Amino acid sequence: MKGAVPVSQEHTDWEKENERLQAVISRIEKKKEALKGDSDELKDDVIELRRTFWDDVTVNLDEPDDVIETQASLKQRAELLSERERSHGLLHQQKKTLNKLEETPYFGRIDFAEDGENETESIYIGIASLMDKNDEEFLVYDWRAPISSMYYDFAPGRAYYPTLDGDVEGDITLKRQYIVKRGNLEGMFDTGLTIGDELLQSLLGQQSSPQMKSIVASIQREQNQVIRNERSKMLLVRGAAGSGKTSAALQRVAYLLYKHREKLDAGNMLLFSPNPLFTRYVSNVLPELGEDNLQQSTLFQHFKKRLPNDWALESPHAHIEYFLSEQAEATRSQGLSVKTSPRFIEQLHDYVSSLSHSGLIFKDLYFRGELWVTKAQLQDYFYQMASSMSISDRLETVAEWLLKMLQITEREERPKAWVDEKMDLLDQATYNRVFEKVTENEGTFNDTVLQEDLLRKLVVRRMVKPLRKQIQTFDVLDVEAMYVQFFRWAGYKVIAEEIAYHFKKRDMHWEDAAPFLYFEDLLKGRPVYADIRHIFIDEAQDYTTIQIRYLQHLFPSSRLTLLGDANQAVHAHTSAGNAPLEEDSNEKEQETITLHRSYRSTQPIVEFTKQLVPNGEQIEAFERPGPKPAMKQLENEKQHDRYVCDLAKQLEEREIGMAAIVTKTFAESEEIWEQLTRAGRDAQLIHEQTSEFKAALLVLPVYLAKGIEFDAVVVSDASAANYHRERDRYLLYTACTRAMHELYLCTNGELTPFITDSVYEHYVQG
């Protein structure tokens, strides 16, 4: 193997390293014992404080001063309890970290001779820091510490690491990696740059897991550039399938939380993932590193929260299935091309600018089914204001005017007969509350006039509540009508009619969600998400230009990390000439890091899959051996289905690990799953709401497999009939690159044209 020299048990250092390892584990055990004592003591304090919470609090509400004193006493007691609970929680977290360290205290070491110093320091690196018994020297350095960066970035020789006072320079005289399992030293390697082949072979050769694992022991130099990058407002990470984009991004989260612990916590970060299954798949990485999980959402979930409950939003998966069906209407295909083009955003801004002078469409406002204020009145009032004012500021003024009018309406409505009818229908609890309020104000209940007045106010206030909310949320604007009008204004009349038809049914296409909400925010002003400081977008190649712009607009204080691979684009808009993940020449604080090397799959699988896509020669395979992909061409559907069932049985009997049958569409997945079930196979059908794996054999469409890896993959029906359009090339590539160790393809008829004669040498006939 290249790059690493194994250190055998006969090596002179082996005994010394083993002794040190055991000494460190002993230190961990003693620290755990001390923590347990502190934790038990704090736990007892918390229990006692909860039990006696009211004993030391004198409740006196007779005089204002007594009330203030009581409140101060309660606050002081609550703060003491909260502080004890928080301290107990921190000790519990420290204990969890020590448990992980006890299993594997460290995974790497560098010996560093700093310029001007006489001694060489041995720096051991693990998932967390560990001090000696006097808390003076580091036994283990956290992998995120500045000094640890040299382990990932340099081979033995000249090196440096950053500090607040500038770079510290010197020489790395030794670089060593360890395999430590359950506290036992099982292997170690002296190596050059980053991870030696033996260690990486060991890590990559393991079976897949239902959840992604941390990669801190195997971070490569280019991945480390992603993790520690703090220069860029927007960081684009483009990488081949299996290059560690997502893993590096999650380690990046852990790094940022470590370095900026005083300013950042997990609540300041948000990850947009492609589906709930992927969200669950990556959920264990940060806890494994001793950090809380960051907030996670899908773009679909976010849109659903912002749209009214009575709107039906097409899911991204339904959107994909619609365009995969090859029955997409020409108008919708044209609309998709328009809405996902970069020019579309400019047109939208131009339209909003024109609305400053004319064209805003308002709604008629109703109270109790009767017209209260007409849309013409609203429009006249709005356009009487100076056009130099922003639209949102003028809407604020309109809302203030309407709320004042609403106060007048409330007073006018209180004596009317309809209020008497509503009062008769009030429940007893409401009457009791009003009674208590009257007696509280008057001392005795002798004023039926006051009671009636309060009841009338209550009835009218309840009746005007929906109208008040409509005014306060600027729902006096007919945004739906103006969105349709925009397409007419831009010359897309047919598209406008198609959107209007669906909007009447409160139905929204997936590709309309981002532009519609972006347009609404341009008019009304955006919601405030000031607490989010970092946004991570995985599978960013499937986002449209306006979806990215919308998120930038919504989180203006956030830094963005976009992760993706154009070769894995599965949405229809990516075949309409709109290339995702392109650098924006107008974005000054933007940087791109490209990861060319693929680690997920064996070398034969990578050599096969790189032939399927343009510029595939740029993808580098890690030298991990394995069988070539197997291809089986079958003549008809019956033979194809029998082959898939037989292959599934073989994989199950061999206990290969997690195996997946990957199809092009969900309908195909359903058919295969039904056949497997009839054949007695324990298979799980994955759909868009699935959040966890429950079987070793999975059946799923390719777009739900994105970002996930399996020990063995069977690509169902890789035929010319199924994969023939140019965008199908990327679906096929995505399906094949899910495989870690074994890849099988089968066809129902003629082989897809994307597997050409030049690919022949990279697979075997199955």
Nearest in space to 235 (alpha carbons), one of 218, 220, 253, 219: 253
Amino acid symbol at 386 = A
CA distance 596 to 17: 35
3-state secondary structure 491-538: CCHHHHHHHHHHHHCCEECHHHHHHHHHHHHHHHCCCCCCCCCEEEEC
402 φ, ψ (degrees, to nearest 5)? -65, -40
CA distance 159 to 82: 46
First to last CA, the chain: 30
Looking at residue 390, the DSSP 8-state letter turns out to be -
Count Cβ atoms below 10 Å from residue 169 Cβ, excluding itself: 12
CA distance 676 to 221: 44
CB 606 within 8 A of CB 621: yes
CA separation, residue 591 to residues 219, 230, 237, 238 (Å): 20, 10, 9, 11
CA distance 630 to 434: 79
CA distance 26 to 6: 26
CA distance 124 to 220: 17
Q: Which residues are annotated as a binding site for ATP?
A: 239-246
SS3 content of the chain, % helix, strand, coil (to 5): 50, 20, 35
Cα 361 → chain centroid: 36
Q: Which residues contact 601 (CB under 8 A, 6 or more apart)?
A: 241, 242, 609, 621, 737, 739, 740, 741, 743
461 φ, ψ (degrees, to nearest 5)? -60, -40
CA distance 473 to 104: 54
CA distance 174 to 159: 12
CA distance 720 to 749: 8
Cα 45 → chain centroid: 38
CB 545 within 8 A of CB 578: yes
CA distance 232 to 590: 5
CA distance 722 to 392: 50
As a whole number of angstroms, the longest Cα–Cα distance in the chain is: 100
3-state secondary structure 405-465: HHHHHHHHHCCCHHHHHHHHCCCHHHHHHHHHHHHHHHCCCCCHHHHHHHHHHHHHHHHHH
Q: Which residues are annotated as a binding site?
A: 239-246
CB 638 within 8 A of CB 677: no
Report the relative pairing of strands 697-701 and 683-685 from DSSP bridges: parallel
CB 105 within 8 A of CB 130: yes
CA distance 339 to 499: 12
CA distance 23 to 650: 47
- β-partners of residue 712 are 659, 742
The two three-digit tokens of residue 727, written as one number: 């965008």
CA distance 618 to 239: 10
Residue 180 parent element (H or E): strand 166-181
473 φ, ψ (degrees, to nearest 5)? -95, 10
Residue 6 parent element (H or E): strand 4-6
Q: Which residues contact 162 (CB under 8 A, 6 or more apart)?
A: 146, 149, 168
